Amino acid sequence: MSNSITIKGSVIASQIQQGGTESFQINEDGFDISECQKLLDMIEGYRPLFDKEFGDESNDLKNALDSAQNAINTKSHLGWKKAISVIKDILVGCGSSLLAAGILKYL
């Protein structure tokens, strides 16, 4: 028997479980809300530049930052990771942007 998984896109906080019918794992890595908020505040300081710098991607980036803030407010570790992953994907797509490169350094 052969099993395969094909994944297209980002995968966050996933786990693959084998050999058990009701097994689970807990994945807890450091989620320091104050550090997350500092990072988000730093990025938010550049929001006025987003339209000019990121063009069509600017609304998606703003929405992802709003999702990140909501994750902090609700203390959602998974929500934070998802939002940061979206932010990274957008910024990587804007690779020629100096602002994107600077923000990516902090992520």
Report the 10 Å Cβ neighbour count for 97.
Answer: 17
Mean pLDDT, to the nearest integer, of 45-62?
Answer: 90
Dmax of the chain from CA atoms? 55
Please say if the pLDDT value at position 29 is more than 60: no
CA distances to 12, 32, 34, 60 from 76, rounded to whole Å, are 13, 11, 13, 20
CB 68 within 8 A of CB 84: yes
User: Does the residue 11 lie in any domain?
Assistant: no
User: Does the residue 70 lie in any domain?
Assistant: yes
Confidence of residue 26 (pLDDT cuts 50, 70, 90): very low
User: How many domains, in total, are found in the chain?
Assistant: 1
User: Does the residue 100 lie in any domain?
Assistant: yes
Which is more confident, 33 or 19?
Answer: 33
Please say if the pLDDT value at position 31 is more than 80: no
User: Does the residue 77 lie in any domain?
Assistant: yes
Please say if the pLDDT value at position 23 is more than 80: no
Query: What is the span of the domain harbouring residue 54?
Result: 33-106
Please say if the pLDDT value at position 49 is more than 70: yes
User: Does the residue 20 lie in any domain?
Assistant: no
- Give the span between the Cα atoms of 31 and 77, in whole angstroms: 6
- Give the span between the Cα atoms of 34 and 41, in whole angstroms: 10
Please say if the pLDDT value at position 28 is more than 90: no
